[in-house]
Amino acid sequence: MAAELNNFQINTLRIISMLLEKDAVEDSILEELWKNELEYFALLEKYKILGEKINIDEKTGLLKYNDHYLTDIVKTASRIMHNNKFPHLEIGFVRFDIDDFSKFNNKYGHDLGDEVLKTVSAIIRDCSRPTDYVIRFGGEEIDVILPSTDICGAEVYVNKILDETRKVRFHYQNEKKIKTTMSAGITSCRLNINASAKKVDVEKEYKCLQKNADDALYEAKFLGKNRFSIYSAARDAEYCKIRSQYTKSR
């Protein structure tokens, strides 16, 4: 693996050298080169995780939840950072939930419920980049960590997945074709990726992302499901009320 890493870095340096010779080095170009390098090393890290079968959920083929994923991403970014020109990393985070999944299971049975879960998981995975972390958080909830993605990028991503899910139909005995929908909560953060970034701070940020996405998800459910909601810190106090009202209405 060391030879591969060195070759990749050597090629990057060659590109920079050529740009320097032509006096064409700009911050925007350097940032793109840095992002490409980050994606390369992030892929190596993720494939290492995927190679360990213990990390894979058997039913969906998605990653099992682990609280170190965001830390791994930040570590990778810190390792390849050459200077302080790009000290931050945008992270998008999404929590998906299949609408009325318990009722669906009770009405049509767990076999069809499993088919829905597997199909939805495949849609999310297929719409994701190789560097994204698609995680079965628990039950019918699926989390996605989107490195180098701001809130606008996360919104585009979620819209595409919800649209694809709405097109799918399932068969059950002699009944008409059955459809299912999902709701999603979206949030994001901007992480310091300096080598001095503390593991405990990153883990705390990961928990914060999960809570904020879950609050936004409850809002999407409360507003009628089959949609997404974007977390807003300015409305933080409202989310407890929304969660309580939605729970009572079920």
Query: What radius of gyration, in Å, describes the C-alpha atoms of the chain?
Result: 20
Q: Kindly name the residue from 37, 140, 155, 219 that is annotated as catalytic.
A: 140
Write out the two tokens for 36: 């490409």
Per DSSP, the residues of 132-175 read: SEEEEEETTEEEEEEET--HHHHHHHHHHHHHHHHH-EE--TTS
Q: How far is CA 243 from CA 138, 181, 207, 208, 218, in A?
A: 19, 20, 18, 17, 6
CA distances from 178 to 8, 116, 170 (A): 48, 10, 5
Distance CA 60, CA 115 (A): 10
Does residue 141 carry a catalytic annotation?
A: no
User: In what helix (H) or strand (E) does residue 101 lie, and over which residues does it extend?
Assistant: helix 101-108
Would you say the C-alpha torsion 154, 160, 163, 167 has a positive or negative sign? negative
Query: CA–CA separation, 179 vs 159, rounded Å?
Result: 17
CB atoms within 10 A of CB 87: 14
Just list the catalytic residues. Answer: 140
